[in-house]
Amino acid sequence: MADISNNFVGIKSPNPFWLASAPPTDKAYNVERAFKAGWGGVVWKTLGEEGPPVVNVNGPRYGAIWGADRRLLGLNNIELITDRDLYVNLREIKQVKKNWPDRAVVVSIMVPCEEAAWKAILPLVEETEADGIELNFGCPHGMSERGMGAAVGQVPEYIEMVARWCKANTRMPVIVKLTPNITDIRYPARAAKAGGADAVSLINTISSITSVNLDTFSPEPSIDGKGSHGGYCGPAVKPIALNMVAEIARDAETAGLPISGIGGITTWRDAAEFMALGAGNVQVCTAAMTYGFKIVEEMIAGLSNWMDVKGHKSLDDVIGRATPNVTDWQYLNLNYVTKASIDQDSCIKCGRCHIACEDTSHQAITSMVDGQRHFEVIEEECVGCNLCVNVCPVENCITMVPLKAGTKDKRTGKKVAKEYANWTTHPNNPSARDAAE
Amino acid sequence: MQSKQLADGIAAGRLPKGRIAENFADLHPPLAGHEAAVAADRCYFCYDAPCMTACPTSIDIPLFIRQIATGNVNGAAKTIFDQNILGGMCARVCPTETLCEEACVRETAEGKPVEIGLLQRHATDSLMAKNKHPYKRAKSTGKHVAVVGAGPAGLACAHRLAMHGHQVTIFESRKKPGGLNEFGIAAYKSTDDFAQAEVDFVLGIGGIDIKYGKPLGDTVTLDGLRSEYDAVFLGMGLSGVNALGLKGKDPQGVENAVDFIARLRQAKDKSKLAVGRRVVVIGGGMTAIDCAIQAKLLGAEEVTICYRRGQENMNASEFEQDLAASAGVSLRHWLKPVKLKAKGGVLTAVELEYTELKKGKLEGTGETVTIQADQLFRAIGQTLGEDDLGGAVELKKGRIRTKADGRTSLKDVWAGGDCTDQGEDLTVTAVAQGRDAAESIHKTLMG
Ligand SMILES: Cc1cc2nc3c(=O)[nH]c(=O)nc-3n(C[C@H](O)[C@H](O)[C@H](O)COP(=O)(O)OP(=O)(O)OC[C@H]3O[C@@H](n4cnc5c(N)ncnc54)[C@H](O)[C@@H]3O)c2cc1C
Ligand code: SF4
């Protein structure tokens, strides 16, 4: 049996599945249930400074997009940080940690961008014996208008400054949670590292409007006819999150900085992909909010099973394994030539590959051959783009077959070279020409 | 078990009224909104979709399903009606398992086609419930066309002609419109008086006048129509019924299946309909199946379909045969009736001879079997009411010879549906032919 126990910046948990700071971690009641269900850790819902707590809207907080069977694909929320009293939260955190010493309890914090505010709250959190803190620099709505959350996370200098304050004022590991609502995720990550943060976690939610009610012309979720942009999460955001994790993992300046991966993780497979790209563990929210805490059983079993099948003994065998394979476009091998190939036995003749290629791409798939409905790749035209594979409703019916070195590419009439060659040396590349001259 | 159920002879009320009502409920209940969304999502929006080719009226199926999926249900209905103004009935009665759904690529992929018929019903029901006719008539052309028969072919033809601005008069021999939609289709396929509602919907275009109780061949003659109108369309279906061809007069208890079904379709209270305790149906088509199932649903104890050839030769689809079997109907093959036994002029049993194919010819083997029966239905095919035509149009194999566009041997007479040699005894084919003939008439009249 593979060992899936996790050690993230010294915080130990029996598995790498944490619940992200969000409604599922707002109270002892929920967190107790989560730990009973098997979650490895939680990041407690964000605490604010002492005083009257924030208030939430009293109408709908969530908007969503669905697939046809109302499968939830994306969720957006306009909820703020915890709206419960600071000391109630602190007492509960302490009790829960005491009840569950083997689980990770990290506390998310968001206070104004002044050192005094951080200095005030850090000892209170430390006193709970929580395992670490996560700085919420990600929240894109409500709090950012008050100069917190994403308003800090979008300014690398602030990130560095606050991270430094925290490191100076607590012994607890500091994780900086990053907002994706920024042009280049590497800048805030570098700032977090420069400020001494132990790790980053990402992504927080993406600024979004999920839909517009076409009867009332109000954005959804609608509060008395008006709406505000919310934070988007759920399966739909996973590809964005994966890329941002990879960007940080492979950036020379932040390489090695631990990453807690967040963003649409729904199954063990999603989690494994995040870890392969460099995440040391993962945080989950929407999947739990959609299906309840029990999903962690599938995640634990699925991850262990895959690791057993592949012979990975511990998470260290998995983490970052895909990172070196993420590269810049200019380094991709231009001598790697593929052609689509349609398995006629599994083809159901829907014609989607044909029309996609015919209307929008390279006219490389037939629709009729000898008067019969027949879909076949015209190798003379096929550029190997993979569109047909993606639109085909039958799995493995169309595959991309690489041409062996030495064979002729019928489209270009050239032989496929066996050596790797990329854009940097390509004759059409002006800079390559310049370099050669 | 109530004794009434097992009463010998032909009797009414074999089952309690409520049970009979349940038995005749919708065969395929309509899809609710979410069910329709899920069903619609299964459509792959195929290129040059095979289902479209398989539909005799060539409805743009992927388009209407996509319209349902995106919440434009009325647009979906419009897509359907553009090709098939009787799309509501077709959604209920088309043997989709041998038409559009058989061609569905998901049938190939997983044996579970997209539920095209049910989706079509979802869309058409929704628009029809709005009681607003979706088409406007073109400016009047001043032309006047006579249509014979208010069945699917005649109605489809009349609607398309009216759309193009022609005036239409339909001559219908019965007192009610709809043809076999009203008198023939199984009751559980067309519930809640749908056939009449649909006729009202079709007539909503305006410019169509129906004259009831005016059969062609009586005071109305084809020559008369030809001289009085700019064109004539014949959509008179098949009004005759084949005889069993046995010696002597048929005893009491023997009836045409279509007459029994017509009576059943017109009955306000089906529990008052009499049916035999032991029923035999002779035939192998949709009529035989429908007749047998409905006899069973009325409470007949034993219902047996006897067909003179093998299962593979039956005109009724596999789905229809299964439906009969699951209703408790016995299907027996390679049997032909040779003698009707009677007591006091009332049917008691039927003697049947086993058959076989010898060098491609069907022959009796000499061996016989006797089945007890107090009621026997003939369902061995309908015939053209030839005499009504007065011998003026050319026939082919007992039906009116037509070209692809519905033209007959007479230059101002078109025909479509069951009465033609191109008919397939399907509502949807009759609709397609009626529509296409209207286009051909329009083109001809407008030069
Ligand atoms: C029992 C039964 C079940 C069936 N089930 C199905 C099914 O499930 N699905 C399916 O697709 N098809 C089914 N069919 C076939 C389908 O009903 C016919 O193919 C379709 O109705 C043919 O349409 P039509 O307009 O050509 O003829 P009809 O529907 O027969 O209409 C002809 C019309 O012309 C009138 N008429 C006849 N003679 C004259 C005259 N001399 N002058 C004036 N008017 C006249 C008739 O009264 C009638 O109104 C079934 C048929 C039967 C008998
Ligand atoms: S009319 Fe009949 S065959 Fe055509 S799509 Fe509708 S159900 Fe299918």
Distance CA A228, CA A7 (A): 39
Give the DSSP letter of residue B220: B
Q: How many CA atoms within 13 Å lie on the side-chain side of A134?
A: 34
What residues contact B38, with CB distance under 8 A and at least 6 apart?
Answer: A68, A69
Q: What is the ipTM of this complex?
A: 0.85
Residues of A in contact with B106 (CB under 8 A): 348
Nearest CB neighbour to B105, from listed A67, A349, A367: A349
Decide if A139 is catalytic.
Answer: yes
Residue B142 C-alpha from the chain's centroid: 33
Whether A111 contacts A48, CB under 8 Å: yes
Distance CA A195, CA A213 (A): 44
Taking CA atoms, B304 is separated from A68, A210, B189, in Å, by: 45, 60, 22
Q: How far is A74 from chain B (nearest CA, A)?
A: 18
Q: Name the residue at shortest CA distance from atom 21 of ligand 1.
A: B180
Average pLDDT, chain A: 95
Over the stretch B362-375, which tens digit does the pLDDT of each residue have? 999 999 999 999 99
Q: How far is B65 from chain A (nearest CA, A)?
A: 13
Whether A68 and chain B come into contact, CB under 8 Å, resolves to yes
Q: Do B46 and A367 touch (CB under 8 A)?
A: no
What's the whole-model pTM score?
0.91
- Total count of residues recorded for chain B: 447
Closest CA to A426 of A327, A335, A316, A303: A335
In chain B the domains, ranked by start, together with CATH numbers, are: 10-25+241-378 (3.50.50.60), 33-128 (1.10.1060.10), 144-239+384-445 (3.50.50.60)
**Average of per-residue pLDDT across B175-198:** 96
Residue A136 C-alpha from the chain's centroid: 16
Whether A69 contacts A309, CB under 8 Å: no
SS3 assignment, position B375? strand
Taking CA atoms, A371 is separated from A368, B51, B55, B100, B306, in Å, by: 6, 18, 20, 21, 42
Q: How many CA atoms within 13 Å lie on the side-chain side of A428?
A: 5
Find out whether the peptide bond into A221 is cis, omega within 30 degrees of 0.
Answer: yes
Over the stretch A237-268, which tens digit does the pLDDT of each residue have? 999 999 999 999 999 999 999 999 999 999 99
Question: Is the C-beta atom of B55 inside 6 A of ligand 2?
Answer: yes
Q: In what order do the strands lie in the sheet with B144-148?
A: B208-212, B167-172, B144-148, B231-234, B413-415
Over the stretch A94-113, which tens digit does the pLDDT of each residue have? 999 999 999 999 999 999 88
SS3 assignment, position B164? coil
pLDDT at A436: 60
> Hey, how many other C-beta atoms are within 10 angstroms of the C-beta on B311?
14
Amino acid in position B219:
T
Residue by residue, pLDDT tens for chain A (437 residues) are 899 999 999 999 999 999 999 999 999 999 999 999 999 999 999 999 998 988 889 989 999 999 878 899 999 999 889 999 999 999 999 999 999 999 999 999 999 889 999 999 999 999 999 999 999 987 666 677 777 777 888 999 999 999 999 999 999 999 999 999 999 999 999 999 999 999 999 999 999 999 999 999 999 999 999 999 999 999 999 999 999 999 999 999 999 999 999 999 999 999 999 999 999 999 999 999 999 999 999 999 999 999 999 999 999 999 999 999 999 999 999 999 999 999 999 999 999 999 999 999 999 999 999 999 999 999 999 999 999 999 999 999 999 999 999 999 999 999 999 999 999 999 999 987 666 66
Backbone φ and ψ of A163, nearest 5°: -60, -40
Distance CA A84, CA A47 (A): 9
| Pocket perturbation via mutation, ligand 1, pick of B57, B181, B185, B317 by most ligand atoms within 8 A of CB | B185
Q: Which residues pair with A109 in a beta bridge?
A: A47, A135
Residue A370 C-alpha from the chain's centroid: 49
